[in-house]
Amino acid sequence: MSLEEGGPESPESDVTINMMSFEDTELTLGLPGEGRSSSTTTTAAAVVNGAKCSAKRGYIETVDLNLGSCSSKPRGHGDTSVHDSGAGKPPAAKSQVVGWPPVRSSRKKAMNESCKYVKVAVDGAPFLRKVNLQAYSDYRYLIKDLENLFSSSFTIRNYGTCDDDKEESKLKDGAKGMEYVPTYEDKDGDWMLVGDVPWNNKNFSNMFKYCKLS
């Protein structure tokens, strides 16, 4: 049985009784959407969730907005279709069992709303990271944290003034001479430069689809 809640980026599409090992749900290698054995080429366009991105060279930082859910979508109330009279039998797929883990719905909903995790990938970096957009009040600190996350792979060169919403902070790969700027794909599918839209707008994080540091 497949997990009804599995989103496209969720690796738990085949759920068995045994928990997936922790490593399976840890950082992924390579480009998103390409599985674990993909290369880390710096030139390929990002293919995220099957959608082709524009062919900007030299970088890929893709952020999938996992709107409103850290991992899986909420179970509808009264959903008992998967609930066997499985007395004494362990559940076939743990996550399909109504009411397990025993957490109040109000808490589940609140957790949904405080989690706006997005995946961040940089072309050439060996693994993706995740950041919670809810934790930021403006761009500067988001960019700063993204730089810190990837600082092991790249040198960082700051660019522009500090006060402006439009500050651009560029990751620079000293060896290859390529620069990275933050971008994101909005809901129309266009690649936008991070910083044009004011951050301090509660709706902002809903506009993120992908964020590329390119």
Question: Where along the sequence are the contacts to another protein (CB under 8 A)?
Answer: 3, 5-6, 10, 12, 15, 17-20, 22, 25, 69-75, 77-78, 80, 83-91, 94-95, 97-108, 110-111, 113-115, 132, 134-138, 140-141
Kindly state the smallest distance separating residue 121's Cβ from another protein, in Å: 20
- Find all residues with CB under 8 Å of 197, minimum gap 6, and list them: 204, 207
Q: Which is nearer to another protein, 52 or 107 (CB)?
A: 107
Q: Which is nearer to another protein, 127 or 191 (CB)?
A: 127
Q: Which is nearer to another protein, 99 or 174 (CB)?
A: 99
Question: In this structure, what is the dihedral angle of CA atoms 24, 28, 30, 31, given to the nearest 10 degrees?
Answer: 110
Alpha helices in 39-191 (DSSP H): 105-114, 139-150
Cβ burial, residue 149 (10 Å; 0-12/13-18/19+): middle
Q: Which is nearer to another protein, 66 or 214 (CB)?
A: 66
Kindly state the smallest distance separating residue 41's Cβ from another protein, in Å: 30
Cis peptide before 74 (omega within 30 of 0): no
